[in-house]
Amino acid sequence: MALDTAPVRVGILGMGTVGQGTVRVLQRNADEIRRRVGRELRICHAAVRKPERLHGLELDARVSADPWAVVRDPDIDVVVEVMGGIDPARALTLAALESGKHVVTANKALLALHGNEIFAAAQARGLMVAFEAAVAGAIPIVKTIREGLAGNRIQSLMGIINGTSNYILTQMYRESWDFERALAAAQELGYAEADPSLDVDGGDAAHKITLMASVAFGIPVDFAHCHVEGIRHLQRQDVAFAAELGYRIKLLGITRRCDDGVELRVHPTLIPASHLLASVEGPFNAILVHSDAAGQSICYGRGAGGDPTASAVVADLVDVARTMTADPSNRVPHLAFQADALTALPLLPMAAVESAYYLRIEAANRPGVLAQVAAVLAAHGVSIEALIQRERLGAETVPIVLVLHRCREADLDAALVQMAQLPVIGGEVLRLRIENIDQQG
């Protein structure tokens, strides 16, 4: 059978950080890509809202201000959606599929919220929705889980999957920057979402771990049951206390298969300073996968930025180009498992999670406080492993930092409610979870 050598006609929606990166990578590596695919990947039509922001990018394509013009263009084979947001991205994606076009997307928010609908629409028409760029930027983690580890029963995934938060935590630790300064720099560097609260409040990492859980365990996409906490409430003193105790604080996405369901959660987490994940800094991402046959694997790389994300967009375009003529039932399934073989395992509430904990308690600066705190914890079966209590002469309150042994979150919740009623507790009690990674699957 003669191979199709006609160019693959690409339409692109959005020409911001990732869109421009995609154009640059396709242009720079055109020869290399053609040698790999056997045909050219040609951007034929682009939706560009603000052409004045293209910074000299040469775009040899039809340009429309309206993204619908691209989606409705009959001479387009694949639509790349890199404009972000839910509306109109959802309608545009569904319309592209409706008109027989494959879709490559970097939009994790869209897939985490509407993935079931979008994958079903693609499946019904024998089309592909490729989303490597949506999860951990350049790192080929979707491909790794879906294909490279396809022989395994995956037990857990744990990852630093938001470049912006990791950059902020790194700058707080290394340079003693405050939160606002580090966030402004992350935005300037093109790491942050258009709405950076998605980064710092954990939503973006939650979108990504939700998608990874589906690909790892063959479960429908269920963002609504993901527990989400961000890094906004962390202070430089927490980063310093954690370091003193032998830990680093990272915003982790965690999903784990348990006897009675699946844990799915995002929160700032103390991890041992000696673990490989602790040395993942700046905008870099890393995902630790525990699986039965391969054991532990770590994927590491750039999780954000124009060219790194474009690397994944273009790899997906290559995949689509290679398999667009293949029988759809023989392609790699969107969520790694056959669509009719997904299992809706229960997603567990946080109260059922077991963890070790870091507590920072602002308490009255007077004798006997620690004994009262310890008594409340003991009454709920929670025991203390380590503590730091600093003298602050003349201060009304002092921070008490405790490291707690593993316990059920429900027990700690109950202890914290009782602790808040102690007159000696002056303000917030910060609770962070600790993962002693090497001991767990």
Ligand X SMILES: N[C@@H](CCO)C(=O)O
Residues that bind ligand X (CB under 6 A): 137, 162-164, 191-193, 199, 204, 303-304
CA angle 110/114/120 to nearest 5° reads: 125
Angle between helices 30-37 and 306-323 (to 10 degrees): 30
268 binds, among Na ion, ligand X, ligand NAD, none (CB under 5 to 8 A by kind): none
> For residue 100, what are the contacts with CB-CB under 8 A and spacing of at least 6?
125, 127
Under DSSP, is residue 156 helix (H, G, I), strand (E, B) or coil? Answer: strand
Q: Which residue has the tokens 């989606």?
A: 71
Q: What residues between 322 and 351 interact with Na ion by CB under 5 A?
A: none
Rounded to an integer, what distance in angstroms lies between the CA atom of residue 341 and that of residue 329? 13
Q: In the bound complex, what is the minimum distance in angstroms from residue 43's beta carbon to Na ion?
A: 21
Q: Which two tokens stand for residue 438?
A: 């090497």
Is 193 among the annotated ligand-binding positions? Answer: yes
| H-run or E-run covering 129 | strand 129-130
Q: In the bound complex, what is the minimum distance in angstroms from residue 83's beta carbon to ligand NAD?
A: 4
Site for Na ion (CB under 5 A): which residue of 104, 129, 206, 312? 312
Site for ligand NAD (CB under 6 A): which residue of 93, 309, 311, 355? 309
Rounded to an integer, what distance in angstroms lies between the CA atom of residue 336 and that of residue 203? 23
CA angle 153/159/164 to nearest 5° reads: 155
Q: In the bound complex, what is the minimum distance in angstroms from residue 277's beta carbon to ligand NAD?
A: 20
132 binds, among ligand NAD, ligand X, Na ion, none (CB under 5 to 8 A by kind): Na ion
112 binds, among ligand X, Na ion, ligand NAD, none (CB under 5 to 8 A by kind): none
* Cβ neighbours of 25 (radius 10 Å): 22
Looking at the Cβ atoms of 79 and 192, the one nearer to ligand X is 192
Q: Whose CA is closest to 122, among 146, 94, 143?
A: 94
18 binds, among Na ion, ligand NAD, ligand X, none (CB under 5 to 8 A by kind): ligand NAD
> Where does this chain touch ligand NAD (CB under 6 A) — which range of 2-10, 79-87, 339-347, 369-377?
79-87
Residue in 50, 101, 143, 208 annotated catalytic? 208
> For residue 84, what are the contacts with CB-CB under 8 A and spacing of at least 6?
14, 16, 106, 107, 109, 193, 194
Q: What residues between 188 and 207 interact with ligand NAD by CB under 6 A?
A: 190-191, 193-194
Q: What residues between 35 and 74 interact with ligand NAD by CB under 6 A?
A: 47, 49-50, 67
Looking at the Cβ atoms of 298 and 422, the one nearer to Na ion is 298
Looking at the Cβ atoms of 163 and 268, the one nearer to ligand X is 163
| H-run or E-run covering 416 | helix 409-420
Across 212-304, the runs of DSSP E, i.e. the strands, are 227-228, 247-258, 261-272, 284-291, 295-302
Q: What residues between 15 and 34 interact with ligand NAD by CB under 6 A?
A: 15-19
Site for Na ion (CB under 5 A): which residue of 44, 71, 78, 136? 136
Q: Kindly calculate the radius of gyration of the chain based on its CA atoms and give it in whole angstroms.
A: 24
What does the CA dihedral 157, 257, 146, 202 come to, rounded to 10 degrees?
Answer: -40
164 binds, among ligand X, ligand NAD, Na ion, none (CB under 5 to 8 A by kind): ligand X
Q: In the bound complex, what is the minimum distance in angstroms from residue 180's beta carbon to ligand X?
A: 16
Site for Na ion (CB under 5 A): which residue of 132, 193, 204, 319? 132
Residue 301 one-letter amino acid: G
Q: Does 18 engage in binding with Na ion (CB under 5 A)?
A: no
> Where does this chain touch ligand NAD (CB under 6 A) — which range of 132-140, 227-235, 244-252, 338-346?
132-140
CA angle 32/20/17 to nearest 5° reads: 125
Rounded to an integer, what distance in angstroms lies between the CA atom of residue 238 and that of residue 360? 8
Rounded to an integer, what distance in angstroms lies between the CA atom of residue 301 and that of residue 280? 9
**Is 208 designated active site?**
yes
Binding site per annotation, positions: 108, 193
Binding-site residues for L-homoserine? 193
Binding site for Na ion (CB under 5 A): 132, 135-136, 139, 312
Residues within the interface to ligand NAD (CB under 6 A): 14-19, 47, 49-50, 67, 82-84, 88, 106-108, 133-134, 137, 190-191, 193-194, 304-305, 309
Q: Annotated binding site for NADPH: which residue ranges?
A: 108
Catalytically annotated residues: 208
